[in-house]
Chains A and B, each alone.
Chain A
Amino acid sequence: MAVTVSPERDTVATPMQRALREALYAGAISFGLFVLFIGLKTGQNISNELVLTTRWGLLAAVVIATAVGRFLYVAYGQPFLANQKITDVATGLLPASVASRFFQLPAFIVAIIAAVLLFVFNSSLAGWVGAEPAGYLQFLRALAVIYVLACVIYYFRAFIHANFTKLGIAALMLYPILVVAVLSLSAWSIASGLQGSLKWVDNFGIQILIYVMLAWGLNIVVGLAGLLDLGYVAFYAIGAYAYALLGTQYGLSFWILLPAAGAMAAFWGVLLGFPVLRLRGDYLAIVTLAFGEIIRLVLINWREVTNGSAGISGIPKVSFFGLMSFNVSDPNYIAKVLGIAQSGAYYKIFLYYLILGLCLLTAFVTIRLRRLPVGRAWEALREDEIACRSLGINTTTTKLTAFATGAMFGGFAGSFFAARQGFVSPESFVFLESAIILAIVVLGGMGSLVGIAVAAMVMIGGTEALRELDFLKQIFGPDFTPELYRMLLFGMAMVIVMLWKPRGFVGSREPTAFLKVRRAVSGSFTKEGHG
């Protein structure tokens, strides 16, 4: 487009004029937004008086940056994007021409070498160049690794696209092994490799998978059956407390209590389901929200049973199917049985595979149910309740099964959570958790298992990764704690995804009635001479 008609005035503006004007507006808006946020800073002096510090320089910098950014975007970015065909299927993210310019073999090789060098000389770097540049170099290393991974994904994009699920499951299966192997190699000792893997397996692996499982469970209620549930964390809490109480009071094993916790959560799901059968949309959301809060308040106030806000500690660990234990003091402690060195990492790795198994169970059940009458009825219920009823579907039982099934997986995740933490308190089951789980489902694309898993990885992995950005302290000062900005990240990710893909990462719905029929169609088309 060479000439654009501006909507405000009926004059013809060139892209440059338009860009200048938009830059001016953007600058004015950012000035209005930030004049109090950035321009002024309040503080206290020694005699407790309010001191107003002005930061006009910083404000000017921000305003100018906004205006310049807007100018560049409108003048160069927009025409460039308009020229590119953004609907590039192969890469999904980038137009093919940009991607081929961005991912180049020499750069790929340089990045690999840089990353390897920085990994090998990691320990001696600080001695050579000083602590502060070493921090930046670590950041550089992270960027190089990300670039290399992106290149690999780009080169094999067709293969990855075709086998995404298989590759994903294989990667998840190998993840702890790879982590231990890489860390053992880099430190040249298995013990420190195991020790170092704790953070990666626990904080990233297990943490993300718990949310994947919760989001997949909620997906049954929200994504498939279309019942907006804002109190899902209640079932998580019920599962966690079921294991915590029965495990500590009666010493029952995790393997008995896991199904029991699921059943209990499902029971409460039905109990919640009954009063809200006639509600939909926003009304349902309010009642489920209240349900979540009721459960939390009961946990806080029913001190005789739940020990109130102090929570329950000393929750027994999961055993290796009763054969081996992960308690160092037990006679059948895993290291003694297998004759290997003691390490806390075995338990974490075991827990990782346990939650991975639970996740896969959730996915398997969801996929199977979608092809059964009850799953089809859930989806039909989401689309049109009245039509469902007039087709002879009992909407009462359909809704209750959706609530019960979703709640059951929440309960499983809850009892796993209790076993992993060894401690539960009502603090872990606040509304924010429900909101995060729901956000993951929405971001991933309601109903899509793959999309939700990716969303959980980005959101939960992203917030965990923020903890790793210690070098930012060198820029923003020692008081800067990046993990406090995770809600900002959440919000930003939400806005970006909703602008970019309003239906979530994977917005398209996979049809369930397909194969048999598709064959029938193509057969008859050939007969008619269409194919």
Chain B
Amino acid sequence: MMAATTLLDIKGVQTYYGNIRALNGVDVTVKQGEIVALIGANGAGKSTLMMTIFGAPRARAGTITFAGTDITQMPTHEIARMRIAQSPEGRRIFPRMTVMENLQMGASLDNLKHYDEDVEKVFTLFPRLKERIAQRGGTLSGGEQQMLSIGRALMARPKLLLLDEPSLGLAPLIVKQIFDAIRELNRTQGLTVFLVEQNAFGALKLATRGYVMVNGNVTMSGTGKELLANPEVRAAYLEGGHH
């Protein structure tokens, strides 16, 4: 199941907000074809790591390598052009643009070359979006916005999909739908996914491997099953938590 090549390699990354250090030398690897989950509490630095991969904020130390290329100092839009797509925290869809236009924006990289084909794929994955096609993004429900955000990211034909808290603020049924879709993408298209989650149970069940982050450090890592079984992880993130 696990392919050998490393797609994303994060080594010793330190990120600061002003003088405050948010990441203290983080090491994370994502291999081709994996779903990797990063779990942790609020303020642990999960989203910061996600944003650091995209160079905003930029890492002050350490290197980020994607498919053999050092992307640490690249401008954000160049990083995106390496075929890393992101569904950012808070979804960040374009609220006044229609579902259609949002998807078009995702395909800007290729100048809409594979547009029709890819739109069909997104609609197969999320039939709900097809019903909302001419509606403005801001009028969608939270779950639909999340679907749109993921769909928009997929339109760029990414090699690596970054998902920042896709379950945030959604009903359990919708969360399940979205996690199923991610699993489906990974299984059928071999898409590599790196996701950040607070919903540790769902994320670890979905993931091939997982990392646990505390106060800007990665404290634990292992396969999804190992982490789910780990007593510390259970105590900190699973028991009494939401799942």
Q: Which residues of A contact B (CB under 8 A)?
A: 373, 376-377, 379-380, 382-384, 386-395, 509, 511-514, 517-518, 521, 524
- Are A387 and B111 neighbours in the complex by a CB distance under 8 Å? no
- Given contacts A376-B104, A511-B100, is CB(A392)–CB(B94) below 8 Å? no
Main secondary structure of the interface of A (DSSP, over half): helix
- Are A512 and B77 neighbours in the complex by a CB distance under 8 Å? no
A379 CA to B136 CA, complexed, in Å: 13
With both chains docked as a complex, state the minimum distance between the C-beta of B95 and any C-beta of chain A, in angstroms.
Answer: 6
- Are A384 and B108 neighbours in the complex by a CB distance under 8 Å? no
- Are B77 and A518 neighbours in the complex by a CB distance under 8 Å? no
Which residue among B93, B106, B133 has the maximum number of chain A CB atoms within 10 Å of its CB? B133
A386 — which chain B residues lie within 8 A by C-beta? 56, 88, 92
Contact residues of B between 91 and 121, Cβ < 8 Å to A: 92-98, 100-101, 104-106, 108-109, 111-112, 119
The answer, yes or no, to whether B29 is at the interface (CB within 8 Å) is no
- Given contacts A395-B77, A511-B98, is CB(A380)–CB(B134) below 8 Å? no
- Are B76 and A513 neighbours in the complex by a CB distance under 8 Å? no
- Are B134 and A391 neighbours in the complex by a CB distance under 8 Å? no
B98 — which chain A residues lie within 8 A by C-beta? 511, 513
With both chains docked as a complex, state the minimum distance between the C-beta of B169 and any C-beta of chain A, in angstroms.
Answer: 18
Which residue among B97, B109, B133 has the maximum number of chain A CB atoms within 10 Å of its CB? B97
With both chains docked as a complex, state the minimum distance between the C-beta of B69 and any C-beta of chain A, in angstroms.
Answer: 15
- Are A390 and B101 neighbours in the complex by a CB distance under 8 Å? no
Interface size class of B (residues with CB under 8 A): 20 to 34
The answer, yes or no, to whether B183 is at the interface (CB within 8 Å) is no
A388 CA to B100 CA, complexed, in Å: 16
A511 — which chain B residues lie within 8 A by C-beta? 97-98, 100-101, 134
- Contact check: which of B56, B77, B94, B109 meets A380 at CB < 8 Å? B94
- Are B104 and A384 neighbours in the complex by a CB distance under 8 Å? no
- Nearest chain-A residue to B120 (Cβ)? A520
A517 CA to B88 CA, complexed, in Å: 26
A379 CA to B98 CA, complexed, in Å: 12
- Nearest chain-A residue to B76 (Cβ)? A389
Would you mind naming 29 contact pairs between A and B with Cβ atoms under 8 Å apart?
A373-B108, A377-B105, A379-B96, A379-B97, A380-B94, A380-B97, A380-B105, A383-B94, A389-B80, A390-B76, A390-B80, A391-B85, A391-B106, A391-B108, A391-B152, A392-B108, A393-B77, A394-B75, A394-B77, A509-B96, A509-B136, A511-B134, A512-B101, A513-B104, A514-B134, A517-B100, A517-B119, A518-B134, A521-B133
B112 — which chain A residues lie within 8 A by C-beta? 373
With both chains docked as a complex, state the minimum distance between the C-beta of B98 and any C-beta of chain A, in angstroms.
Answer: 5
The answer, yes or no, to whether B15 is at the interface (CB within 8 Å) is no
The answer, yes or no, to whether B167 is at the interface (CB within 8 Å) is no
A394 — which chain B residues lie within 8 A by C-beta? 75, 77
- Are A517 and B133 neighbours in the complex by a CB distance under 8 Å? yes
- Are B54 and A514 neighbours in the complex by a CB distance under 8 Å? no
- Nearest chain-B residue to A383 (Cβ)? B94
- Are B96 and A393 neighbours in the complex by a CB distance under 8 Å? no
Question: Would you give the 0/1 interface string for B75-92, flagging 1 where the beta carbon is closer than 8 Å to chain A?
Answer: 111001100011010001
- Contact check: which of A383, A393, A517, A524 meets B97 at CB < 8 Å? A383
A389 CA to B56 CA, complexed, in Å: 10
B156 — which chain A residues lie within 8 A by C-beta? 391-392
- Nearest chain-B residue to A398 (Cβ)? B77
- Contact check: which of A373, A390, A395, A518 meets B54 at CB < 8 Å? A390
A509 CA to B139 CA, complexed, in Å: 14
- Given contacts A373-B111, A376-B105, A377-B108, is CB(A384)–CB(B92) below 8 Å? yes
- Are B101 and A387 neighbours in the complex by a CB distance under 8 Å? no
A86 CA to B134 CA, complexed, in Å: 26
With both chains docked as a complex, state the minimum distance between the C-beta of B85 and any C-beta of chain A, in angstroms.
Answer: 8
- Are B108 and A393 neighbours in the complex by a CB distance under 8 Å? yes
With both chains docked as a complex, state the minimum distance between the C-beta of A176 and any C-beta of chain B, in angstroms.
Answer: 38
A390 CA to B79 CA, complexed, in Å: 8
The answer, yes or no, to whether B60 is at the interface (CB within 8 Å) is no
- Are A383 and B100 neighbours in the complex by a CB distance under 8 Å? no
- Are B88 and A387 neighbours in the complex by a CB distance under 8 Å? yes
- Given contacts A389-B80, A395-B77, A521-B130, is CB(A379)–CB(B56) below 8 Å? no
Which residue among A387, A394, A395 has the maximum number of chain B CB atoms within 10 Å of its CB? A387
With both chains docked as a complex, state the minimum distance between the C-beta of B199 and any C-beta of chain A, in angstroms.
Answer: 22
- Are A392 and B109 neighbours in the complex by a CB distance under 8 Å? yes
- Are A384 and B94 neighbours in the complex by a CB distance under 8 Å? yes
With both chains docked as a complex, state the minimum distance between the C-beta of A507 and any C-beta of chain B, in angstroms.
Answer: 11
- Contact check: which of B92, B96, B100, B136 meets A387 at CB < 8 Å? B92
A373 CA to B101 CA, complexed, in Å: 11
- Are B86 and A390 neighbours in the complex by a CB distance under 8 Å? yes
A377 — which chain B residues lie within 8 A by C-beta? 105, 108
- Are B77 and A383 neighbours in the complex by a CB distance under 8 Å? no
A389 CA to B85 CA, complexed, in Å: 11
B77 — which chain A residues lie within 8 A by C-beta? 389, 392-395
A524 — which chain B residues lie within 8 A by C-beta? 130
B81 — which chain A residues lie within 8 A by C-beta? 392
A388 CA to B54 CA, complexed, in Å: 12
B96 — which chain A residues lie within 8 A by C-beta? 379, 382-383, 509
- Given contacts A391-B106, A511-B101, A512-B101, is CB(A383)–CB(B56) below 8 Å? no
- Are A390 and B88 neighbours in the complex by a CB distance under 8 Å? yes
With both chains docked as a complex, state the minimum distance between the C-beta of A231 and any C-beta of chain B, in angstroms.
Answer: 26
A373 — which chain B residues lie within 8 A by C-beta? 108, 111-112
A390 CA to B90 CA, complexed, in Å: 14
With both chains docked as a complex, state the minimum distance between the C-beta of A478 and any C-beta of chain B, in angstroms.
Answer: 52
With both chains docked as a complex, state the minimum distance between the C-beta of A92 and any C-beta of chain B, in angstroms.
Answer: 21
With both chains docked as a complex, state the minimum distance between the C-beta of A283 and any C-beta of chain B, in angstroms.
Answer: 18
A380 CA to B137 CA, complexed, in Å: 12
- Contact check: which of A389, A395, A513 meets B101 at CB < 8 Å? A513
A379 — which chain B residues lie within 8 A by C-beta? 94, 96-97, 101
With both chains docked as a complex, state the minimum distance between the C-beta of B182 and any C-beta of chain A, in angstroms.
Answer: 18
With both chains docked as a complex, state the minimum distance between the C-beta of B90 and any C-beta of chain A, in angstroms.
Answer: 10
Not counting A521-B134, A524-B130, a sample of 14 additional A-B residue pairs whose C-beta atoms are within 8 angstroms of each other reads A373-B111, A376-B108, A379-B97, A380-B105, A383-B95, A389-B54, A389-B56, A390-B76, A391-B80, A391-B108, A392-B81, A511-B97, A513-B100, A513-B101
A222 CA to B88 CA, complexed, in Å: 26
A426 CA to B86 CA, complexed, in Å: 50
A389 — which chain B residues lie within 8 A by C-beta? 54, 56, 76-77, 80
